[in-house]
Amino acid sequence: MKIGVLNTDKLKPEFSLRFGEYPSMFARLFLIAKPDLKLQTYNVVDFQYPKNIEECDAYLITGSKLSVYEEIPWIIELKNFVKRLNASQKKIVGICFGHQLIAEALGGKTLAAEAGWCVGAHKTNLNENAIFYKTSGEEFWLLSNHRDQVSKMAEGATLLASTEACPIAMTSLGDHILTFQGHPEFDKEYAKALLDMRREILGEPVYAAAIKSLEIPTNNSLVSDWIIRFIER
């Protein structure tokens, strides 16, 4: 199985040297559960795309520091690519920015959250639509780091899970699209580095609560298994 990672960001050198770029984080996440998995990176910020969508079995859109509603050429091009993938019923997974961009590309809406930044570990509650994912209980925990969130899902999408701060935290569309607002690829050290970088922007109460939440175990491996099962089915 081969996943095309549509990379939507370039990290600061001090971060990429310590943690790797986002495709490396996903490689570490997925290869634990599926060592024979192949990952192909396409840096869509530089307009790198597969020559043919059949080059990969599925595509994954990463997180980004930018907002999906910005009129930036590479973001517009990525939305068009998502429309092509959707028309072909190609498997797509969206994470954070990817979750939001898929919604925007397919008739939904993303806005800056009124509550501001959502950071740290958050409990995500699965609903009655998420039977496929309820083998391990009614809830899971993921790290979050976002100030935008989906306010309207893609046309025809199904809501699978919510957090207290983010009502649209996990969605599906047909049998070919799965999206998460949270970050299964983040580890606690990287999450803390991001929090430290944004401490002044976040404000001390939000920062302190997020740092405290890092003590909570997260379910990265569980979500990794879900994504692999979703692609394989």
56 is catalytic: no
**Which tokens is 162 given?**
């919510």
Bridge partners for 94 per DSSP = 61, 179
Find the catalytic residue in 56, 96, 118, 166: 96
Bridge partners for 139 per DSSP = 125
114 is catalytic: no
State the Cα angle at 111 between 105 and 115, rounded to 5°.
150
Rg (CA), the chain: 16
Q: Can you say how many angstroms the Cα of residue 44 is from the centroid of all Cα atoms in its chain?
A: 15
Indicate the residue type of 33. Answer: A
Q: Label the pairing between strands 58-61 and 38-43.
A: unpaired
The torsion region of residue 156 among left (phi > 0), alpha (psi -120 to 50) and beta comes to: left
176 is catalytic: no
Q: Which of 93, 105, 33 is nearest to 68 (CA)?
A: 105
| Maximum separation of any 2 CA atoms in the chain, in Å | 48
Find the catalytic residue in 56, 99, 166, 185: 185
| Active site positions, annotated | 96, 183, 185
